A and B are shown apart, each in its own frame.
Chain A
């Protein structure tokens, strides 16, 4: 059977050249002279309802605050040498500030930063810096502790469940904080934790939530990319939930919502852009806390009593005044070993070394 090859290839060729023309042929309709170009790299999708969306919304806030700033935003950039190429292409397009919004971009960013000393770089949660690379993050255990107080007073079965992607130290710190907060008002609370081994698998998250609810948990917490599945599954079975990452999740639990912890980066990104424009930017290590604008607590749900809210606010005040520590000793881990001595506390700088779960949490970290 003979076929006309041309008949098939030609329309494709026309289509391809059309796309090329549409992409590159016409000058950009953007403002002729932006004061600053900002390049942003996301590891996932900007609409994931979680980690990436929080960063993307922060950038959107910055754009709103500073209309003179132009943004080049790229999604789904792998944490490989590809990210270096994306950064360099942004710099060639005139970007003077690069937001490399994922942990794994750290080393690529360092390499590109060395090559382009006049471009500023910012990186979340990095532990290495350079003269033109700032690292920033916000510490969440205090916020989780406060949610724990609300959860500990609300639970009826004295059992909490937690769905967590991986046993990473910063996550364990949040789980411990939630549990310790709950125990501070209700010593009978026990917490069961299930690791799903992945940040994104809603089917598995639903099954894990059901498994925890089967064990009598009536408060669910989670650290996965999107909190929606866990919150929704808990709500359906009449359980409460504490959200993370994404404030919009509240609408999925009109009855069982306790509260939530979310990142709000808009203020910080606006400050970065302003500093670069007026020349006051400098390399630093920023660690936001409850007092900063980088963490927002979602409004409490109807299940939380006014007394509980008062307790939360009192403890919040002592955190802000520096009178209270989340991990104040004595704290034992769930194998009986003493991890924090009486009178001491596990400092925020040390969170990366937390590889244990507190007494009363049922689960394995390794």
Chain B
């Protein structure tokens, strides 16, 4: 009796957590380079619609994911043009990009509403997926789920163990010092935003191609903003982002599962569960957030003369 409940809960958590993880990683990379991107929701939507449209037109979901990644990256480069080259305020530009993404994705998606795609299906890992209990729990997902964890580790490695990652973080901490050390802060920030856009696009594509297999206007339903909060929650760390997204995705899955079990608690109260849980964890685990935030986060690098 407990087995299907546990399996359902775990599978649900991983499914809801995956787009959140990609989105959180996207924001982590951008913020490590000193750029707050409130337009993440827009990036996800553009990724979702481009991925869905490409899959619908070509019938190839992998191509859809790649197109979504590219579209997310390019969309973020435009944001980069505003906040890096044009030195516009990051928060205002981000919000503008969010609405721009909502509108652009709606426009691109008009003829794809109600389209049917095959999408990314679950791929059971041979042998492993036949293990009782653990098989359906861990080894029967679509490829974007399998890749999410390794990509988080990869982002961690790139940020903390490569020269490129070091200079990216240096730009985020103190662009003037990074400039003095011979780095090009603007170039790094563009690169960071492109990489962030790729992951934001994939986050949206996971929703539209794998999880729901449909395109609807504003289908991300606020996940982009939840991811911005999850970055703070995970203290700008890619590996903690795995924990944060799983916890939040798990809380969403748990409240829906609890309703399906027939737990006699108000659905309104259960709907608050993910946020209550986040508040609880922050209260217990809070700590010195300021130390973790990149030093020049949100500040515009004005050049050095």
Contact = CB atoms under 8 A, between A and B. Distances in A.
Given A210-B8, A215-B260, A228-B114, A198 B221 contact: yes
B265 interface: yes
Taking chain A's interface residues, is the majority helix, strand, or loop, or is none over half, making it mixed?
A: mixed
B221 A194 contact: no
A44 B217 contact: yes
A206 B15 contact: yes
Contacts of B11: 210
Query: What is the interface of chain B mostly: helix, strand, loop, or mixed?
Result: helix
Interface in B207-229: 207-208, 211-214, 216-219, 221, 223
A211 B212 contact: no
Interface stretch (B31-39, B59-67, B231-239, B266-274): B266-274
B13 to A, nearest CB: 9
A194 B219 contact: no
Contacts of B15: 206-207, 210
B248 to A, nearest CB: 12
Interface string B234-272: 000000000000000000110011011110111110010
B45 to A, nearest CB: 12
B30 interface: no
Given A204-B221, A362-B262, A232 B214 contact: yes
A201 B48 CA distance: 13
A49 B52 CA distance: 16
A243 interface: no
A45 interface: yes
A47 B305 contact: no
A197 B261 contact: no
A201 B12 CA distance: 15
B256 A225 contact: no
A206 B212 contact: yes
B109 to A, nearest CB: 8
B260 A48 contact: no
Nearest to A44: B217
Most A CB contacts (10 A, CB to CB) among B8, B211, B218, B259 go to B259
Contacts of A44: 217
A10 interface: no
Contact of B256 (A211, A228, A251, A366): A211
A174 interface: no
Interface residues of B, number: 43
A363 B256 CA distance: 11
B289 interface: no
A202 B267 CA distance: 18
B106 interface: yes
A184 interface: no
30 contacts: A1-B303, A45-B106, A47-B113, A49-B114, A161-B260, A192-B260, A194-B259, A201-B221, A202-B208, A202-B216, A203-B223, A205-B212, A206-B211, A207-B15, A207-B252, A211-B253, A211-B259, A212-B260, A214-B8, A214-B257, A214-B260, A215-B260, A225-B216, A228-B216, A232-B213, A233-B212, A246-B114, A251-B116, A252-B116, A365-B267
B216 A49 contact: yes
B216 A364 contact: no
Contacts of A161: 260
A270 B292 CA distance: 63
B277 interface: no
Nearest to B122: A236
B262 A211 contact: no
B207 A210 contact: no
B221 A203 contact: yes
Contacts of A246: 114
Which 6 pairs across A and B sit closest by C-beta, in order of nearness?
Answer: A202-B212, A214-B8, A362-B262, A211-B260, A201-B221, A195-B267
B16 interface: yes
Contacts of B286: none
Given A1-B303, A193-B259, A197-B267, A203 B207 contact: yes
Interface in B5-57: 5, 7-8, 11-12, 15-16, 19
A1 B106 CA distance: 39
A202 B262 contact: no
A81 interface: no
Interface in A238-268: 246, 248-249, 251-252
A45 B218 CA distance: 10
A178 to B, nearest CB: 17
B116 A200 contact: no
Contacts of B260: 161, 192, 194, 208, 211-212, 214-215
Contact of A214 (B4, B110, B208): B4
A211 B16 CA distance: 12
A186 interface: no
A229 interface: yes
Contacts of A48: 113, 216-217
A83 interface: no
B212 A1 contact: no
- Residue among B110, B219, B264 with max Cβ neighbours from chain A (10 Å): B219
Interface string A154-172: 0000000100000100000
